[in-house]
Chain A
Amino acid sequence: MRPFSYTRAQTVQAAVQALASDPQAVLLAGGTNLIDLMKYEVERPGAIIDINRLPLNFIDDLPDGGIRIGALVTNSSVAHDERVRTRYPLLASAILAGASPQLRNAATTGGNLVQRTRCYYFYDPATPCNKRQPGSGCAAIGGVNRIHAILGASDSCIAVHPSDMCVALAALGATIEVEGPAGRRDIAFSDFHRLPGDRPELDNTLQSGELVVAIRLEPNHFAVHHTYLKLRDRLSYAFALVSVAVAVELSNDRLVDVRVALGGVAHKPWRDRLVEAEFAGVVADEEAFQKLAERLLSGAKGHGGNHFKIPLAAKAIVRALKQATSGRLQDQAAKSVQ
């Protein structure tokens, strides 16, 4: 790790000011991704602003029946919060599918949103990577790309976003509150993470000096029919090859509202509202699920090592929709349907 200076921010405003005034500064929350990247010298901050003492460790009920989760609440605390478990079980389930108990005890809600890709070339400063070193090229295209994107990639970057939590938040349609030098603003979850395009160094739409304060979730009707299905090389403690978050509202066996978000397949949690809308009012059966999977993956493109993800994602989408509509979610401990 390279030397850096260390300060502890006492207020959100002070953290914003410190971050905005020093282009070499980064924020430290749980540190589970940042410290790791610093050891590889992928991240080389000149200054660390420790935000762990900021008053952002809260889970509050909102007057509309929704919930507001502070940026510093750990992944464990979110997943085991009784209100989250009963009203947003999809979120709890997705979090528990990720990382390990130790990492979830340290990792925070805000940190989970802004964590970086686990592309092995991004992690290896000896190789070209447009995300790490803009303009240097992409070693994953034409290289070892088993874990890489099949949707929304570009000629510059085929990395995927590694989060499980974010896939559930995409399906649920969260709102992210951020604070920056110009004050506070809301970002719709679908607008937070980016596709790589020709600027893969930008993972999200946070502006300079902005920090995540909280996420908000509206009340919903998805507490019964939902599932988070995660497929990976081993049953635990591994990133998703493909994951599917499904949230469904059913009426008389028909899909009233169906949401399907995919993880492990793109630079951001992948969701297509136009495709979802095509299936409103459709009878919830396997034929419909297969069509939905086909439509969602119609633009999918493999890069050699990851071709297998296309049929894998199709089957995962169908299985997740079956689980969700039958009200039998994936058990993240037993790795079977409940």
Chain B
Amino acid sequence: MDIGSRNDAVPLCSTAFVINGQQFTLELHPWVTLLDLLRGALELSGTKKGCDHGQCGACTVLIDGERINACLKLAVSLDGARITTIEGLGSPESLHPMQKAFIEHDAFQCGYCTPGQICSAIGLVSEGRVHSRADIRELMSGNLCRCGAYTNIADAIEDVMGQGRNQIREAAE
């Protein structure tokens, strides 16, 4: 697969990863970010491009279980990684508990930041460092929401955390 602008002077890099449980081996230009790879060639447009500079969190995905801004990672540097995007968390028939909670708590308006918020929230839960509502707010501060759904987002996360951490961790795997 040839991704990015044509440049024959630079060799393509063979890169293998598992994305949402599916194995990919791709020939990539080194300057393609994970975000552009997901949204472009792989047509996984659930992950959003907000600022493209690590300032908004809309592109948050899980890389080997950790929440990361996909806009600031070169895809070739992730050879061997296991990547989970919003598309890999649940399906319309069987939503991830965090997706369900976001719907139940009306935790979005326009929805543009939501995939990043949900991936980030799942990362937050598996990190296991929340002891208070203030912790949720601080540890979700890497995801901006211009609609201002923050209160309901925190409610959704609190709700899910009340359901038990093990269940969430399993669902993320």
Q: When the two chains form the complex, which single residue of A8, A76, A333 contacts B138, counting CB atoms closer than 8 Å? A: A333
- Residue of chain B at shortest CB distance from A100: B142
Would B67 and A105 count as touching, CB distance under 8 A?
A: yes
A127 to B: closest C-beta gap in Å: 18
A296-333: which have CB < 8 Å to B? Answer: 331-333
**Does any Cβ of B come within 8 Å of A103's Cβ?**
yes
Would A39 and B7 count as touching, CB distance under 8 A?
A: no
Q: How far is the CA of A46 from the CA of B127 in the complex (A)?
A: 37
B35 to A: closest C-beta gap in Å: 10
**Does any Cβ of B come within 8 Å of A281's Cβ?**
no
**Does any Cβ of A come within 8 Å of B42's Cβ?**
no
Would B76 and A31 count as touching, CB distance under 8 A?
A: no
CB-CB under 8 A for A106 and B73, given A3-B29, A39-B52 = yes
Q: When the two chains form the complex, which single residue of A5, A39, A76, A103 contacts B69, counting CB atoms closer than 8 Å? A: A103
**Does any Cβ of B come within 8 Å of A52's Cβ?**
yes
**Does any Cβ of B come within 8 Å of A252's Cβ?**
no
**Does any Cβ of A come within 8 Å of B141's Cβ?**
yes
B16 to A: closest C-beta gap in Å: 13
Would A6 and B129 count as touching, CB distance under 8 A?
A: no
- Residue of chain A at shortest CB distance from B9: A3
Would B135 and A333 count as touching, CB distance under 8 A?
A: yes
**Does any Cβ of A come within 8 Å of B39's Cβ?**
no
Q: How far is the CA of A33 from the CA of B143 in the complex (A)?
A: 18
Residues of A within 8 A of B7 (CB): 3
Residues of A within 8 A of B9 (CB): 3
CB-CB under 8 A for A1 and B31, given A52-B77, A106-B73, A333-B139 = yes
Q: How far is the CA of A106 from the CA of B135 in the complex (A)?
A: 20
**Does any Cβ of A come within 8 Å of B50's Cβ?**
no
CB-CB under 8 A for A101 and B54, given A80-B129, A333-B138 = no
Would B138 and A236 count as touching, CB distance under 8 A?
A: yes
- Residue of chain A at shortest CB distance from B29: A3
Q: When the two chains form the complex, which single residue of B68, B74, B141 contacts A237, counting CB atoms closer than 8 Å? A: B141
**Does any Cβ of B come within 8 Å of A28's Cβ?**
yes
**Does any Cβ of A come within 8 Å of B134's Cβ?**
yes
Residues of B within 8 A of A103 (CB): 54, 69, 72, 142
Q: How far is the CA of A333 from the CA of B134 in the complex (A)?
A: 6
Q: How far is the CA of A295 from the CA of B110 in the complex (A)?
A: 52
- Residue of chain A at shortest CB distance from B32: A1
Would A36 and B132 count as touching, CB distance under 8 A?
A: no
Would B74 and A6 count as touching, CB distance under 8 A?
A: yes
Interface of A is mostly: mixed
Would B73 and A237 count as touching, CB distance under 8 A?
A: no
Would B33 and A102 count as touching, CB distance under 8 A?
A: no
B residues contacting the other copy or chain, number (CB 8 A): 42
Q: How far is the CA of A141 from the CA of B120 in the complex (A)?
A: 39
Q: How far is the CA of A105 from the CA of B63 in the complex (A)?
A: 10
CB-CB under 8 A for A102 and B67, given A5-B30, A333-B138 = yes
Would B69 and A4 count as touching, CB distance under 8 A?
A: no
**Does any Cβ of A come within 8 Å of B66's Cβ?**
yes
Residues of A within 8 A of B129 (CB): 80
Would B74 and A101 count as touching, CB distance under 8 A?
A: no
Q: When the two chains form the complex, which single residue of B29, B53, B132 contacts A39, counting CB atoms closer than 8 Å? A: B53
Would B142 and A50 count as touching, CB distance under 8 A?
A: no
Would B123 and A32 count as touching, CB distance under 8 A?
A: no
**Does any Cβ of A come within 8 Å of B10's Cβ?**
yes
- Residue of chain A at shortest CB distance from B140: A101
CB-CB under 8 A for A334 and B30, given A102-B69, A102-B142, A236-B141 = no
Would A4 and B30 count as touching, CB distance under 8 A?
A: yes
B36 to A: closest C-beta gap in Å: 10
Would B13 and A6 count as touching, CB distance under 8 A?
A: yes
Q: When the two chains form the complex, which single residue of A36, A80, A333 contacts B72, counting CB atoms closer than 8 Å? A: A36
**Does any Cβ of A come within 8 Å of B124's Cβ?**
yes
A266-300: which have CB < 8 Å to B? Answer: none
Q: How far is the CA of A328 from the CA of B77 in the complex (A)?
A: 42
Nearest 8 pairs between A and B by C-beta?
A100-B142, A6-B30, A236-B141, A333-B138, A334-B134, A1-B31, A3-B7, A102-B142
- A sample of 27 inter-chain contacts (CB < 8 A) reads A1-B31, A3-B10, A3-B29, A3-B31, A4-B30, A6-B10, A6-B74, A6-B76, A31-B72, A31-B73, A35-B73, A35-B74, A39-B52, A39-B53, A48-B74, A50-B77, A101-B67, A102-B54, A102-B57, A102-B120, A103-B142, A105-B67, A105-B68, A235-B141, A236-B141, A333-B132, A334-B134
Interface residues of B, Cβ cutoff 8 Å to A: 5, 7, 9-11, 13, 29-31, 33, 52-55, 57, 60, 66-69, 71-74, 76-77, 79, 120, 123-124, 127, 129, 132, 134-135, 137-139, 141-144
Given A102-B142, A333-B135, A333-B137, output 4 extra A-B contacts at Cβ < 8 Å.
A3-B29, A101-B123, A237-B144, A333-B139
